[in-house]
Amino acid sequence: RKVSNAIQQLFENKKKGVAWLIDPGKFNPNSISDVFWANLHGLELDLILVGGSQDESSDLGELIQFIKERTSSIPVVLFPGSYQQVCPEADAILFMSLISGRNPEYLISQQVRASRATQNSGLEVLPTAYLLVNDGEICSVHRKSETLPISNEELDLILDTALAGKFLGMNYCYLDAGSGSSSTVAPAVIRAVSSELQLPLIVGGGLNKLQKIHQCFEAGADVVVIGNQIEKDPGFLTEVLNFKKFYNEELHVN
Ligand code: 1GP
């Protein structure tokens, strides 16, 4: 099944999705038990994102194979930190432009370098407007991309930027506060972007509590992305998936 169809279905049915972000630079396969992998099957994890801010991941293919052997039907989507992270073992790629910044390297140069490998890979391409938005914190992705996040307070700028991405043909919008960020994308920002854009909205960065995930869902995020907190405590993923199931069922009843 195509990843775009799965996301579109969530969006159209107003259901919520959860993505587990695995950063190859941090992931320790020994920290995850066989029982945990086995349990994932019943828990309806929507996506696994793989990628990170380090440049090269020579063993990315091996890591994806390792994940796929344990999860079978859960789509693996690349969230590339650089053009070197295009990897045919995955199912799809978030083909992103960092449009909240003004660094040409991440607006278009990395994409030019990634395009041939993407074309040859047979990966499903998900054209994505990627915006860094938080309370003004600097984290790894800002440092690497040499761009500043847009402040949660600059709502008009965020909306205009996201709209520009839509008009350029990007089918998805990813609002990211940055990995490990202590602030998140503000619910007011999510609400405004979701209603203005009418595109599937992915939200991540600093989502380390169920309450924050609940806020994202309520504000209109279609998919939430969680990385760091699962790295710290794999059980958090189980909690989030149980919560999502409950949330989606409640929604269904109402
Ligand atoms: C970062 O949105 C992702 O790019 C996930 O962030 O690691 O803080 O969950 P966390």
With the most atoms of ligand 1 within 8 angstroms of its CB, the residue from 225, 229, 237 to mutate is: 225
User: How many whole angstroms from 178 Cα to the centroid of ligand 1?
Assistant: 6
Name the pTM for this structure. 0.96
Q: What is the pLDDT of residue 254?
A: 54
For the chain, list the strands marked E by DSSP: 17-22, 47-50, 76-78, 92-98, 124-134, 150-151, 172-176, 201-204, 223-226
With the most atoms of ligand 1 within 8 angstroms of its CB, the residue from 54, 133, 226 to mutate is: 226
CA atoms within 13 A on the CB side of 228: 14
- The predicted-structure confidence for 200-210, as pLDDT tens digits, reads as follows 999 999 999 99
Lowest mean pLDDT among 33-47, 164-178, 201-215: 33-47
User: How many whole angstroms from 181 Cα to the centroid of ligand 1?
Assistant: 8
Please, are residues 176 and 140 in contact by the beta-carbon 8 Å criterion? Answer: no
Q: Which helix (H) or strand (E) holds 140?
A: helix 140-145
Sign of CA dihedral 107, 108, 110, 116: positive
Instruction: Please report which confidence band the pLDDT of residue 1 belongs to, taking 50, 70 and 90 as the band edges.
Output: confident
Q: What is the pLDDT of residue 56?
A: 64
Residue 175, marked binder: yes
- Give residue 16's Cα distance to chain centre: 13
Query: What atom of ligand 1 comes closest to residue 226's alpha carbon?
Result: 9
* CB-count exposure of residue 14 (10 Å: 0-12, 13-18, 19+): exposed
Mean pLDDT of 144-150: 88
Kindly state the tokens that stand for 38. Answer: 């086995």
Arithmetic mean of pLDDT over the chain? 94
pLDDT higher than threshold 60 for residue 150: yes
Q: What is the pLDDT of residue 179?
A: 93
Q: What is the pLDDT of residue 57?
A: 59
Q: What is the pLDDT of residue 252?
A: 60
**Across-strand partners of 224?**
18, 203
Kindly state the tokens that stand for 184. Answer: 């998140």
Q: What is the pLDDT of residue 160?
A: 98
Residue 11 three-state SS: helix
Q: What is the pLDDT of residue 96?
A: 98
Query: What atom of ligand 1 comes closest to residue 203's alpha carbon?
Result: 2
Residue 53, marked binder: yes
Residue 221 three-state SS: coil
- CA distance linking residue 172 with residue 199, whole number of Å: 6
The DSSP line for 43-112 is: GT--EEEE--SSS--TTHHHHHHHHHHHHTTS-EEE--SSGGG--TTSSEEEEEEETTS--HIIIIIHHH
Kindly state the tokens that stand for 209. Answer: 């509590």
User: How many whole angstroms from 253 Cα to the centroid of ligand 1?
Assistant: 31
pLDDT higher than threshold 80 for residue 121: yes
- Domains of the chain (ranges plus CATH)? 3-253 (3.20.20.390)
Residue 178, marked binder: yes
The DSSP line for 156-193 is: HHHHHHHHHHHHTT--EEEEE--TT-SS---HHHHHHH
- CA distance linking residue 152 with residue 133, whole number of Å: 6
Please, are residues 128 and 170 in contact by the beta-carbon 8 Å criterion? Answer: yes
- Whether ligand 1 lies within 6 angstroms of the CB of 204 is answered as yes
